[in-house]
């Protein structure tokens, strides 16, 4: 994940510019609820959260299948992210 201070030079090097069609009201709400300082930050926070959520869902599917054996401490650490 990126640090909350995303205005650093190191972060800017990794960025790319793209054009997207996002509903204005949806983006405004995302900025508001995320507490982001800009629309770009709201999109970054949203993408990070989506990725985190999907990874956790994938791990949950593996739990109990024998393919994944995490100790309780490791499970707690993953859930707290």
* 30 inside domain: yes
> What is the number of domains present in the chain?
1
Low-confidence ranges of the chain (pLDDT < 70): 1-13, 64, 66-70, 81
* 28 inside domain: yes
* 1 inside domain: no
* 66 inside domain: yes
* 3 inside domain: no
Has this prediction a pTM greater than 0.75? no
* 75 inside domain: yes
Question: pLDDT tens digits, residue range 57-80?
Answer: 988 887 767 666 667 777 777 777
Question: So what's the pLDDT on residue 70?
Answer: 63
* 52 inside domain: yes
Domain that holds residue 18: 9-79
Annotate the chain with three-state secondary structure.
Answer: CCCCCCCCHHHHHCCCCCCCCCCHHHHHHHHHHHCCCCHHHHHHHHHHHHHHHHHHHHHHHHECCCCECCCHHHHHHHHCC
* 2 inside domain: no
């Amino acid at each position: 994940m990126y640090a909350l201070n995303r205005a650093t030079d190191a972060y800017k090097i990794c960025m790319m510019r793209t054009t997207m069609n996002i509903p204005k009201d949806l983006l405004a709400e995302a900025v508001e609820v995320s507490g982001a300082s800009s629309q770009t930050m709201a999109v970054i926070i949203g993408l990070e959260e989506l990725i985190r959520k999907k990874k956790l869902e994938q791990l949950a599917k593996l739990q109990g299948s024998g393919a994944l054996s995490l100790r309780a401490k490791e499970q707690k650490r993953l859930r707290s992210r």
